[in-house]
Structure 1
Amino acid sequence: MTEEQAKKERKGSDNNTIFIGGKPFMNYVTGVVMQITTKGAREVVIRARGKFISRAVDVAEVAAKKFLKEQNIAVKDIKIDSEEFENKEGRKVNVSTIDITLARK
């Protein structure tokens, strides 16, 4: 799969995607739970870059194992990648990314 195809594939699933950043941890867990329960999503993608990757893993585990246990939610897929971009100094930097897909069993 080329890089462009991967980007198009990612953009197609944005409606059920939670982007992990610097907000409090439980905000993201609540977002995942709301997508599954209230909006009836069959699957939710948790996406993070760089230092927020470990937080994405924690969000996925807490949401699936504590809050959505009776919903039969499990990790369906994990994709890892890296993106290259220019930082403030103009140097090219690689940043790791992760996409964790939670879905009904």
Structure 2
Amino acid sequence: CITLFHSGAKEVSIKARGRAISRAVDVAEIARRRFLPDVKVGKITIGTEELKSKEGDNTSTNVSTIEITLTR
């Protein structure tokens, strides 16, 4: 994330699913507050993905998703 901004990127997206959502939020906040104070949160998209079971027993589980877009 930080490396992309230093290489000239104007926008970086951080995506996560399930339990990794809290880690993605932490990455965005630490990058924004500690390392890159000129970066703003552009857009936050949340959703749910339906994952099919690998065993073919017609079951599925819902997994939460998040996409955080940081812009300079």
- Shared topology, TM-score over 0.5? yes
Q: Deviations over 1:5-41 (max 9, x none)?
A: xxxxxxxxxxxxxxxxxxxxxxxxxxx0001012x11
**Structure 1 position 67 matched with structure 2 position 35:** yes
1:7-86 mapped onto 2 (5 Å cutoff): 32-38=1-7, 40-69=8-37, 72-86=38-52
1-side partners of 2:43 and 2:29: how far apart?
13
Q: Which has the higher helix share?
A: 1
Q: Which has the higher strand share?
A: 2
Greater Rg over alpha carbons, structure: 2
**Structure 1 residue 42: deviation in Å?**
0.5
How much identity, in percent, do the aligned residues show? 51
What TM-score do the two structures reach when normalised by structure 1? 0.63
More moved, 58-67 vs 80-89: 80-89
Give the RMSD, CA atoms, in angstroms: 1.1
1-side partners of 2:22 and 2:66: how far apart?
10
Unpaired segments ≥5 residues, structure 1: 1-31
Unpaired segments ≥5 residues, structure 2: none
**Structure 1 position 99 matched with structure 2 position 67:** yes
Q: Which has the bigger relative contact order, CA under 8 A and spacing at least 6?
A: 2
Corresponding residue SS for 2:9: coil
